Homo-oligomer: A and B are copies of this chain.
Amino acid sequence: MSRQVKNILFVLVDQLRWDYLSCYGHPHLQTPNIDWLAKNGVRFEHAYVQSPVCGPSRASILTGRYMSSHGVMSNTDPMPLNEKLFGEYLRPLGLKTAVVGKTDHRPDLGALARYGIEPESEIGQRIIYRDFDPYDRFIGLHADPVAKPGLQYNDYLNEQGYDGDNPWQHWAQAVVDDDGNVRDGRIWSNSKYPSRIPDQHGESAYVTNRAIDFMEEMGEEPWCLSLGYYKPHWPYVANDPYHNMYPPETHIPVQRADVELEGHLYLRTHHQIRLSKVFSRKNARDEIVTAYMGLVKQMDDHFGRLLTHMRETGLIDNTLIVFTSDHGDNLGDHWCGEKDLPHDCSTRVPLLIYDPSPEADGTRGTTETRFAELIDILPTFIETAGGDVSEHRHLLEGRSLRPLLHGNQEMPWRDYVISEMDFSLREFGRLIGMPLDKPRGFMIRDEQWKYATFEGEEHPMLFDMHNDPHELNDLGDSPEHAAIRADLSAKLFHWLRNLKHRSTVSYDELGWRYGVEFEDNLGILIGWWEDEEGKNF
């Protein structure tokens, strides 16, 4: 079979740090299946998310736009009705565009209600599923307080004999302690125990199976499948034997310094969050990292099954595979749990792209050090599917990575990446004493420096990524770095002024009179001056 891209497999893992894969240098966590992509594709060394939290980051992926452009700033924000999403770009290019597993697009039901659009109507469904067709959609967290009926994974678990309304919570995320008691795996101190159910029925196994089902059902029809592994996101519940595969001696060291405890206002505020406090407790980090690594290993094993299937069916020769994550996980670094802040452990992610076509043969196994942003994924897919990215340049703020995949070294490229932070769903407003929607941050990272500015705090953060790659020495107040801060601040200001605020007119529509005299085509509109000889001015 000739090698030519026909399908797209987009593997979007949740909360996977950039450095917890062996191809990104983890010394003890071997991920040979994911590494296969690095060996046979391009490994992006500097890939950044546009916001280190699920909803906003995924909204940037789905729209190809920065957070300030699409306006989805926290996990509970619905997607504005004017934004054009993934499926709306890719379906017209002939791709069946579907999702299996985790996704995070909240349709704006409030706007539908305002306009009198029934969610179940044809128009309503078209709006709601403008990201993907819902093959086996799963918002990720399915805990009782937020669970909605109809989760296919729950039906599957019921079929396997795991009873109840929400076996996701009461079986898959529940654990068995050393005495054989069932305990709630969502309590982080229970992460050392294995799930009540075996690996073969775990989430990562299930979504992998469903991806294989999808590929088989599609037959010869071209597709773009978004495969969302929810793990290693919390609840940190791994199935046996992954739950205790990685004892502390296999962990990479925590990166934190005492000086950070007296550090930036926003960092100190994050230290007050419950999950940050947990990571400062004895044993907690050890147990959680053990589970986290097990979950990564488990996901890699199942991803390997998928690759095997694709090799056996020949799909490996006509499918572009993109592997990435929506954000990282502090895991105790900087005395924090969760994500949210601009450090690499939160904002930097793995990005691996395997392109089977001969044009990519020259870059197989290479490392790309130029900056990637996850808003580049949608333009990359559009171009891969034969679309014209420039047609959408009034909306798309990312760039197609295809030239990089095909070895173009000369193309002018971006000098920096941007990530935006919103703290409205944390307790920052209350803790800092600001209105709850005010605490926000903007990060810019260029080749050597990372700068971040935060609302309500005049001091920025500044890190020297060459000499302090673990970002422990904040130079935000250092007098000798004033010029560097001013330069990065000016770049951030320039970036913000040039966001694509105009979303309803394409460049071509706007440009219909560009370079021509308007009234030469249309007749008198604005008018002109005519002198006594009848000459126009």
Contact B143 A525, beta carbon cutoff 8 Å: yes
Q: A442-B497, A496-B496, A528-B274 are in contact. Are A502 and B281 (CB under 8 A)?
A: no
Q: Which residue of B71, B88, B127, B455 contacts A501 across the interface (Cβ within 8 Å)?
A: B71
Distance, CA A490 to CA B263, complexed state (A): 24
Q: Which residues of B contact A181 (CB under 8 A)?
A: none
List 16 interface pairs A-B (beta carbons < 8 Å), by A numbering. Answer: A68-B499, A72-B504, A73-B501, A77-B505, A84-B114, A116-B122, A145-B525, A186-B524, A187-B529, A188-B528, A188-B530, A275-B528, A281-B529, A436-B510, A436-B514, A489-B493
Q: Which residue of B126, B424, B435, B504 contacts A71 across the interface (Cβ within 8 Å)?
A: B504
Contact B110 A504, beta carbon cutoff 8 Å: yes
Q: Which residues of B contact A435 (CB under 8 A)?
A: 507
Interface residues as binary, A82-117 with B (CB distance below 8 Å gives 1, 0 otherwise)? 111000100000000000000000001011001111
A456 to chain B, nearest CB (A): 10
Q: Which of A48-81 contact B (CB under 8 A)?
A: 67-69, 71-74, 76-81
Q: Which residues of B contact A74 (CB under 8 A)?
A: 502, 505, 510
Contact A126 B115, beta carbon cutoff 8 Å: yes
Distance, CA A515 to CA B513, complexed state (A): 54
Q: Which residue of B73, B80, B430, B524 contacts A82 across the interface (Cβ within 8 Å)?
A: B80
How often does this chain occur in the complex, in copies? 2
Contact A498 B455, beta carbon cutoff 8 Å: yes
Contact B497 A537, beta carbon cutoff 8 Å: no
Contact A526 B496, beta carbon cutoff 8 Å: no
Contact B497 A145, beta carbon cutoff 8 Å: no
Distance, CA A525 to CA B437, complexed state (A): 22
Contact B510 A437, beta carbon cutoff 8 Å: yes
Q: Which residue of B277, B437, B509 contacts A394 across the interface (Cβ within 8 Å)?
A: B437
Q: Is A251 an interface residue (CB 8 A)?
A: no
Q: Which of A323-381 contact B (CB under 8 A)?
A: none
Contact A117 B123, beta carbon cutoff 8 Å: yes
Q: Is A440 an interface residue (CB 8 A)?
A: yes
A451 to chain B, nearest CB (A): 13
Interface residues as binary, A469-511 with B (CB distance below 8 Å gives 1, 0 otherwise)? 0000000000000000000010011001111011111010111
Q: Which residues of B contact A530 (CB under 8 A)?
A: 187-190
A interface bracket (residues with beta carbon within 8 Å of B):
35 or more
Contact B455 A76, beta carbon cutoff 8 Å: no
Distance, CA A74 to CA B6, complexed state (A): 40
Interface residues as binary, A412-446 with B (CB distance below 8 Å gives 1, 0 otherwise)? 00000000001011000110000111101010000
Q: A122's closest neighbor in chain B, by CB? A: B116
Q: Is A531 an interface residue (CB 8 A)?
A: yes
Q: Is A284 an interface residue (CB 8 A)?
A: yes
User: Lowest 4 A-B CB distances belong to which pairs?
Assistant: A145-B522, A80-B82, A78-B504, A186-B527
Q: Which residue of B67, B284, B394, B504 contacts A111 across the interface (Cβ within 8 Å)?
A: B504
Contact B524 A187, beta carbon cutoff 8 Å: yes
Distance, CA A394 to CA B422, complexed state (A): 14
Distance, CA A455 to CA B493, complexed state (A): 11
Q: Which residues of B contact A310 (CB under 8 A)?
A: none
Contact B529 A278, beta carbon cutoff 8 Å: yes
A509 to chain B, nearest CB (A): 8
Q: Which residues of B contact A110 (CB under 8 A)?
A: 504
Q: Is A465 an interface residue (CB 8 A)?
A: no
A84 to chain B, nearest CB (A): 8
Contact B529 A189, beta carbon cutoff 8 Å: yes
Contact B455 A514, beta carbon cutoff 8 Å: no
Q: Which residues of B contact A126 (CB under 8 A)?
A: 115-116
Q: A77's closest neighbor in chain B, by CB? A: B505
Distance, CA A531 to CA B281, complexed state (A): 10
Contact A81 B79, beta carbon cutoff 8 Å: no
Q: Is A411 an interface residue (CB 8 A)?
A: no
Distance, CA A96 to CA B327, complexed state (A): 49
Contact A537 B274, beta carbon cutoff 8 Å: yes
Q: Which residue of B189, B437, B438, B513 contacts A531 across the interface (Cβ within 8 Å)?
A: B189
With A77-B505, A81-B81, A235-B527 already in contact, 10 other A-B pairs whose C-beta atoms are closer than 8 Å:
A69-B501, A78-B504, A80-B82, A117-B117, A123-B123, A143-B523, A145-B524, A189-B531, A455-B498, A493-B493
Contact B526 A284, beta carbon cutoff 8 Å: no
Distance, CA A492 to CA B497, complexed state (A): 10
Q: Which residue of B81, B111, B184, B501 contacts A68 across the interface (Cβ within 8 Å)?
A: B501
Q: Is A1 an interface residue (CB 8 A)?
A: no
Q: Which residues of B contact A277 (CB under 8 A)?
A: 537
Q: Is A144 an interface residue (CB 8 A)?
A: yes
Q: Is A18 an interface residue (CB 8 A)?
A: no
Contact A504 B88, beta carbon cutoff 8 Å: no
Q: A504-B110, A510-B76 are in contact. Are A278 and B528 (CB under 8 A)?
A: yes
Distance, CA A108 to CA B84, complexed state (A): 13
